[in-house]
């Protein structure tokens, strides 16, 4: 259970939402019939070792809700209070999301990343308000709003995805909104600047994109970077975040340029890996595998990753001096902690 009550969510957030939060994608047994507890514990331990303050338990994969909540329990059991467990409110309907967030409270989550279902088609700001408030009202947990192009709200609702005036209504009316993951109008930086100006004294403003986090932190206060595939860089983003917090700006800038080849490699593949307004979790899992995380098979339906993309991502890390795994790519599709026979492949 959370260490705060609903009325304390915002104060708790300002004190505790500090640091870098990565993503943990569920791992499955070789036959894809069950989640792989051994692999999940491996990824949780490595996230702690790499210096992450928390992890998002990703739900945007082929997983049932009971499996997902068990996945959260495993992460929480392995991490204890060493990682902030973030619930991924990304299910198919409002009703499912309410059921899921209530289960997440029991499983040990302390922050909710609020997403919107693919079949949710709001035609007004009030539609977004009503959906968002319904989720917030259904939980005692702190909630992080997420203006983002993935939802398809732009330009129909507003070019910023969720405009400031709507964020203002939600912050005023939902006391457990404790943070905003400010990616509105992505890839523009206007959203994070606007959110900091309007709401920075009330809630925590998160900048999850490391390529913007590092430069923006040199001119404005940013205490939280959540949630993103920071594990692609191993322990580097938590390390540079601490440098920024300590005011070691020259050292942080040096790291920014050091990892620029990896950043360019990942950004250059974005149209291929993130086409169709859908994040390629297979690619994100591969990025983590390059830094020692489990990897392993995902269930259908899932997007794919091919040799050209895998080679480019690994070369970006090599050129950045980040020493990725040089294991054969076939090992990624097995995982570092295989359990059970493989499904659909050669044993």
C-alpha R_g of the chain: 19
- Mean pLDDT computed over every residue of the chain: 96
Q: What pLDDT shows up at residue 1? A: 75
What is the topology classification, in CATH, of domain 6-247? TIM Barrel (3.20.20)
Q: pLDDT at residue 45 above 80?
A: yes
> Is the pLDDT confidence value at 22 over 60?
yes
Question: Residue 28 pLDDT > 90, yes or no?
Answer: yes
- pLDDT greater than 60 at residue 37: yes
Task: Say if residue 347's pLDDT is above 80.
Answer: no
Measured CA distances, 130 to 122, 170, 175, 200, 242 (Å): 10, 9, 15, 24, 38
Angle at CA of residue 110, ends 190 and 97, nearest 5° = 80
Residue 242 has pLDDT above 90, yes or no: yes
List the single range of 53-62, 65-74, 277-286 with lowest mean pLDDT.
277-286
Give the confidence band of 270 by pLDDT, cuts at 50, 70, 90.
confident
Both tokens of residue 222? 């940013």
Contacts made by residues 210-217, CB under 8 angstroms, sequence distance 24+:
210/237, 210/240, 210/263, 211/256, 211/263, 211/267, 213/237, 213/241, 213/244, 214/240, 214/244, 214/252, 214/253, 214/255, 214/256, 215/256, 216/189, 216/192, 217/241, 217/244, 217/252
Q: What is the mean pLDDT of residues 245-254?
A: 98
Give pLDDT tens digits for 90-127: 999 999 999 999 999 999 999 999 999 999 999 999 99
What does the pLDDT read at residue 318? 98
Mean pLDDT over 250-274 rounds to 91
Q: Examine the pLDDT at 297 and tell me if it is beyond 90.
A: yes
Q: Can you give the pLDDT at residue 269? A: 87
User: Is 346's pLDDT higher than 70?
Assistant: no
The CA distance from 191 to 185, in Å, is 7
pLDDT reported for residue 278? 74
Cα–Cα dist 211/213, whole Å: 6
How does residue 307 score in pLDDT terms, banded at 50, 70 and 90?
Answer: very high
- Average pLDDT over every residue of 235-261: 98
Q: What's the whole-number mean pLDDT along residues 242-271?
A: 96
In degrees, to the nearest 5, what angle opens at C-alpha 285 toward C-alphas 283 and 286?
Answer: 65
Q: Looking at residues 4-16, what average pLDDT do you find?
A: 97
Q: Is the pLDDT at 322 greater than 60, yes or no?
A: yes
């Amino acid at each position: 259970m959370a260490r705060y009550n609903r009325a304390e969510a915002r104060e708790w957030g300002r004190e505790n939402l500090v640091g870098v939060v990565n993503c943990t994608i569920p791992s499955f047994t070789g036959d894809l019939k069950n989640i792989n507890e051994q692999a999940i514990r491996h990824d949780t331990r490595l996230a702690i070792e790499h210096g992450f303050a928390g992890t998002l338990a990703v739900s945007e994969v082929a997983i049932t809700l009971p499996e997902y909540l068990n996945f959260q329990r495993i992460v929480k059991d392995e991490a204890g209070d060493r990682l902030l467990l973030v619930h991924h409110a990304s299910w198919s309907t409002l009703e499912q999301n309410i059921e899921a967030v209530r289960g997440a409270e029991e499983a040990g989550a302390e922050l909710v990343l609020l997403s919107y279902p693919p079949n949710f088609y709001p035609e007004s700001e009030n539609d977004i308000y009503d959906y968002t408030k319904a989720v917030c009202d259904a939980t005692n947990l702190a909630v992080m709003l997420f203006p983002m192009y993935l939802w398809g709200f732009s330009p129909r609702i507003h070019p910023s995805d969720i405009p400031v005036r709507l964020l203002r209504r939600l912050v005023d009316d939902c006391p457990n909104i404790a943070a905003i993951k400010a990616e509105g109008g992505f890839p523009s930086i206007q959203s994070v600047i606007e959110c900091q100006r309007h709401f920075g004294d009330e809630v925590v403003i998160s900048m999850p994109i490391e390529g913007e986090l590092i430069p923006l932190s040199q001119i404005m206060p940013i205490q939280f970077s959540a949630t993103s595939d920071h594990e692609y860089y191993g322990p580097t983003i938590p390390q540079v975040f601490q440098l920024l917090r300590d005011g070691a700006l020259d050292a942080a800038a040096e790291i920014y340029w050091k990892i620029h080849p990896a950043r360019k490699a990942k950004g250059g593949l974005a149209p291929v890996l993130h086409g169709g307004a859908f994040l390629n979790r297979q690619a994100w899992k591969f990025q983590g595998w390059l830094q020692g995380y489990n990897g392993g098979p995902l269930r259908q339906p899932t997007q794919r990753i091919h040799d050209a993309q895998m080679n480019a991502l690994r070369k970006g890390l090599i050129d950045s001096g980040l020493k990725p795994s040089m294991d054969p790519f076939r090992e990624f599709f097995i995982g570092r902690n295989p359990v059970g026979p493989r499904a659909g492949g050669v044993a």
